[in-house]
Chains A and B, each alone.
Chain A
């Protein structure tokens, strides 16, 4: 089960050492290969990502209440979009393993994402939304 594809062996070994340093308990698993053949990071890395996600969500909610105190709408929207994209990237890259998986999966997903954004940007422009 715990085998790594030959192409990613060096990377996996290098990450493995850094994961061991960051892993607080002896029980936590180090980087290992899944049935799909790519390496998984340790559970501690997942916990760190979840902490970042929680902090970003807390800050997003904070900006909602700060709107009352007179921050400009444009500044709020820009900040919210940046935080939303950060959260999106963290989940897709780490929880969905796109950072460790074949780039083909990444391209397929991003193609759908960009296509959707392009189509609906055109639609909203056609309806004079902006």
Chain B
């Protein structure tokens, strides 16, 4: 008489969790983390807003370096990666493991394209004379967009980890919530870029 317990049961399959709130603790923790990330990016964005005009008459400023068509395309790429991420979440919830792998890989590829665009942009700006310590605009710009790029890179690492887990057979429908939580992080990174793109690139200088 041995009762076989499942190897991994994060919650009941009726959606109820054995927690005091009845909600997933992991998901709750991610939302608290994302709430705190608002403060981090709020600080960086307001610092940029404060310093963007503090440049000398001969200094390199936003109008000299920004390439709006290029950044618009990379913004669109990141936006579409959110769509592929929700497809990844919905496919694993349906038990479609192959579809989940395809969408995770697509999301990671789109994220990598965005980061590659950012690296190209930074290189172009540097060659035009805007370094991290050139002026306050440069420092604030690189700090803000660099932190965001680091977040996207961490997201790509997490997506690739999920992909490896899936290929090893460790990511089944019972762990759909893990994909959903990584998805929350990914969408947050997208949401932050929506704000950065508007305030940093599109606001009249």
Contacts and interface: CB of A to CB of B under 8 A. Distances in A.
B143 to A, nearest CB: 15
Interface in B40-56: 41-43, 45-46, 49-50
Given A50-B83, A80-B202, A120-B42, A61 B94 contact: no
A37 B13 CA distance: 8
Q: What's the interface size class on B, roughly?
A: 35 or more
B95 A64 contact: no
A105 B94 contact: no
B60 interface: no
B187 interface: yes
Given A76-B204, A116-B38, A116-B39, A83 B79 contact: no
Interface stretch (B15-23, B117-125, B129-137): B15-23
B83 A36 contact: no
Q: Per DSSP, are chain B's interface residues mostly helix, strand or loop, or mixed?
A: helix
Residue among B11, B14, B35, B199 facing the most chain A CB atoms (10 A cut-off): B35
Interface string B179-191: 0100110011011
Interface in B172-205: 173-177, 180, 183-184, 187-188, 190-191, 194-195, 197-199, 201-204
B34 interface: yes
Interface string B57-79: 00000000000110010011001
A5 interface: yes
Given A34-B177, A35-B10, A36-B180, A64 B202 contact: yes
15 contacts: A29-B94, A33-B15, A35-B173, A35-B175, A35-B177, A36-B24, A40-B90, A65-B68, A84-B194, A88-B195, A91-B191, A96-B188, A120-B42, A124-B49, A129-B50
What are the 8 tightest A-B residue pairs by CB atom distance, in nearest-first order?
A37-B15, A112-B35, A116-B42, A120-B46, A35-B176, A35-B177, A116-B38, A84-B198
Interface of A: 1, 3-5, 29, 32-38, 40, 43, 46-47, 49-50, 53-54, 57, 60-61, 63-65, 67, 73, 76-77, 80-81, 83-84, 87-88, 91-92, 94-97, 102, 104-105, 108-109, 111-113, 115-117, 119-120, 123-124, 127, 129
